[in-house]
Structures are given as structure tokens and as C-alpha cells.
């Protein structure tokens, strides 16, 4: 920044590039979403914060906003934190990523989108899905109870195979599918936005 003093006026001329400010906000019950949030924030050099620690006043400071959370009974945990603020956040680049145990299959991703977003919301939000994992020991008591009901259902099924069998095994052997590679599409999306604004 250069200052030019001329008679009574002080004219400030900005000569540097104005840095785009970005933030990754996450909500994570057993740590999988947090892993992705850390990878994304470190790659893009964005701030990183848990959803419960941020309010609208601070959110307004950022140009690029990423919200990530786990998938619970197909719902993206705490998604309304972002969708309720879409009007106030107009003009900002917003992305949401969901982190579930389900593999990243096209039809499942479409199902997550249609179950979580209302008409028009996906025109303002870029959505990404990243496969997380499953760790029964890290669940809350309520989630343990819900998952034990699913376990009973799974056990009652004959000829268990594929995802259902994998899920049943995961109760005793935690699964972790998180990888830096899975986070690349969202990282590249924001790098492209920044390059376009440079």
C-alpha cells in the first residue's frame, strides 16, 4: 500500500493484490468430516472453524465459504446453518460438502442432493460428496442406539453382501475411506475461482 500526500489530502493507492478470504466451517461427530476440513483449509490456506464457534458477523468477512458435515439418515448435519443464511450471503462463493459412509456413487449423490436441498438452493451452493468412514466406538449414545437397531435389521437379512455386509463388519472393524484425493474436486473448484478473480 502506498500513501501520496498532496496538500490537505491523503490519497491511498492500493498496489498489492487483495487476498481473497476463505473459511472452512465443519460439523463432525466422529472426526471424518474434520479430516477433510483440515485438508481443504490447509490446501487453500483458509481459516478453519467448528460450526458452533462462528456467527454471522464473522462469516460476513469471508468471500469464499465452505461448509462440511457428516451424513446422518441421509441428512447433512446442521445444513440449515448455511441454507438459512443464503440471502445474507449473496455474492459469496459457497460450497457444501457431505461426508458419509456410502461410496461416492452417482445415484447416491443425486439422492443426497435431492433430499437435502430445496428448489434453487443448488444454484447458489456448489455441492461435493466425500466418502468418510464409520467408527462405532466414537458414536454418541443416541447414535449407538440407532445403529444397533440397524445392526439387528442387517443381521436378520439372509445372503448379506456388498454394502450391507461391509456395514455389518464395520461395527467391529472401523472403516476410514478419507483421502486427500477425495478432497481435490472442492480444492480445485476454489483454486479456479481464485484464478478467475486474480
Given the rule CB under 6 A, which residues bind ligand FMN? 28-33, 70-74, 99-102, 132-134, 139, 143, 146-147
- Give the long-range contacts of residues 56-59, CB within 8 A, separation 24 or more: 56/85, 56/88, 59/23, 59/25, 59/85, 59/89
For CA atoms 176, 167, 172, 138, the dihedral sign is: positive
Q: How far is the CB of 88 from ligand FMN (least distance, A)?
A: 26
Which CB sits closer to ligand FMN, 30 or 182?
A: 30
Cβ 95 to ligand FMN, closest distance in Å? 17
Supply the Cα-derived Rg of the chain in whole angstroms: 21
- Closest contact distance (angstroms) between CB of 28 and ligand FMN is 3
User: Is residue 77 helix, strand or coil?
Assistant: coil
Q: Which is nearer to ligand FMN, 88 or 140 (CB)?
A: 140
Q: Which is nearer to ligand FMN, 99 or 183 (CB)?
A: 99
Nearer to ligand FMN, 74 or 193 (CB): 74
Taking the complex as a whole, the smallest distance from the CB of residue 82 to ligand FMN amounts, in Å, to 16
Q: Which is nearer to ligand FMN, 33 or 93 (CB)?
A: 33
Nearest approach, Cβ of residue 13 and ligand FMN (Å)? 46
Residue closer to ligand FMN by CB (options 60, 103) is 103
Closest listed residue to residue 65, CA positions, set 94, 87, 33, 36: 94
Task: Name, in order, each residue with C-beta under 8 angstroms of 14's C-beta and a sequence gap of 6 or more.
Answer: 1
d(CA 4, CA 8): 11
Task: Quote the least distance from Cβ 76 to ligand FMN, whole Å.
Answer: 9
Give the H or E element holding residue 26. strand 22-27
Chain centroid offset of residue 148 CA: 27
Amino acid at each position: 500500500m502506498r500513501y501520496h500526500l498532496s496538500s490537505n489530502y491523503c490519497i491511498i493507492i492500493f498496489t498489492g493484490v487483495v487476498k481473497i478470504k476463505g473459511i472452512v466451517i465443519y460439523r463432525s461427530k466422529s472426526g471424518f468430516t474434520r479430516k477433510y476440513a483440515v485438508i481443504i483449509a490447509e490446501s487453500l490456506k483458509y481459516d478453519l472453524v467448528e460450526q458452533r464457534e462462528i456467527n454471522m458477523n464473522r462469516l460476513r468477512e469471508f468471500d469464499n465459504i465452505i461448509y462440511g458435515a457428516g451424513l446422518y439418515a441421509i441428512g447433512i448435519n446442521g445444513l440449515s446453518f448455511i441454507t438459512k443464511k443464503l440471502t445474507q450471503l449473496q455474492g459469496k462463493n459457497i460450497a457444501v460438502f457431505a461426508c458419509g459412509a456410502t461410496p461416492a456413487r452417482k445415484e447416491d449423490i443425486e439422492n443426497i442432493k435431492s433430499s437435502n436441498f430445496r428448489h434453487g438452493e443448488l444454484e447458489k451452493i456448489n455441492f461435493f460428496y466425500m466418502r468418510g468412514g464409520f467408527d462405532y466406538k466414537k458414536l454418541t449414545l443416541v447414535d449407538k442406539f440407532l445403529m444397533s437397531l440397524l445392526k439387528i435389521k442387517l443381521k436378520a437379512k439372509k445372503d448379506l453382501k456388498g454394502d450391507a455386509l461391509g456395514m455389518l463388519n464395520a461395527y467391529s472393524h472401523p472403516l476410514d475411506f478419507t483421502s486427500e484425493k477425495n478432497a481435490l474436486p472442492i480444492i480445485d473448484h476454489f483454486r479456479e475461482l481464485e484464478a478467475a478473480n486474480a
